[in-house]
Amino acid sequence: MVPGMSASIQQAGERLVVIDTETTGIAAADRVVAFAGIELVDGRATGRAMSLVFNPGRPCHWAARRAHGLSDDYLALQPGFAAHAAEIRGFLRGAVLVGHNVGFDIRMLNGEFRLAALEGLDGQPAICTVALCRRHYPGEKAGLDLALQRIGLGRSTAVHGAFEDAALTAALYQHLRHGAAEAVVPLLPPTNEVAMPARRRRPAPVSA
C-alpha cells in the first residue's frame, strides 16, 4: 500500500504504530527534530512507545519553531537522529503506520533513514487519519485540532509536541475506527533528552 493511503480492512491482532514528527520545516532538505511512536494492537495501546528529540544540525524555520516550541539552542544539545535511527526503524518494522497526514511523517523519516544508510518506509502499509476524517465527516475540515474537538479532546497547550500529537491521533483513530476513544496514553517526555544547563544568577552588587 502506498504510504499515506488509508487501509480499508484491519486484521485481528494487527500491529499498528501511531507516529508523529516535528521538523525544522517542510522542505525536502529539512530535518526531524522530534519523533514519537505509540504501538496499538487491536486498537489498544500496548504500553510500548517511543519519544525522542534530535539535533537537526540546522536551524528551525521560524514557523516550525513557533509550532513545536523547541529552540535551536535546546536542540543543539541533543543527539543526532543517526544515534537512534536503527532503534526507530526496528520499532516501525512490520507495523501499519498511522498518522494525521502520515505521508509527511513518512517522507521526513525516509530522509533521515536515507542519511543513516537504512531502508526506508516505502511499501509499508499506512493509515492516514486525515483520510478517515474526510470519510466520516464529508465536506468538513480535517485538521487535527478540529477533528479532536469533535470527540471532546484537545492538546494541553498550543505547542505541537510529537508525543502528545501521536497520543491524540491514537485516540482519534480509535474513535474513527472503533466508535470510542480510550483515555489518551500518559505523556512520555523524550527519553534521550539532554537538559539545558541552569542559568547562573549574577551576584547581587555589594553595597558600600
Catalytic residue among 68, 84, 100, 160: 160
Q: Where are the beta strands (DSSP E) in the chain?
A: 15-23, 32-41, 44-53, 96-99, 126-128
State residue 5 phi and psi, 5-degree precision: -90, 145
Contact by Cβ (8 Å): 112, 32 = yes
Structure letter (DSSP) for residue 87: H
User: Is 160 part of the annotated catalytic residue set?
Assistant: yes
With CA atoms as reference, report the closest residue to 192 among 87, 98, 110, 116.
87
Could you tell me if 127 and 119 are in contact, meaning their C-beta atoms sit under 8 angstroms apart?
no
Tell me which residues are annotated as active site.
Answer: 160
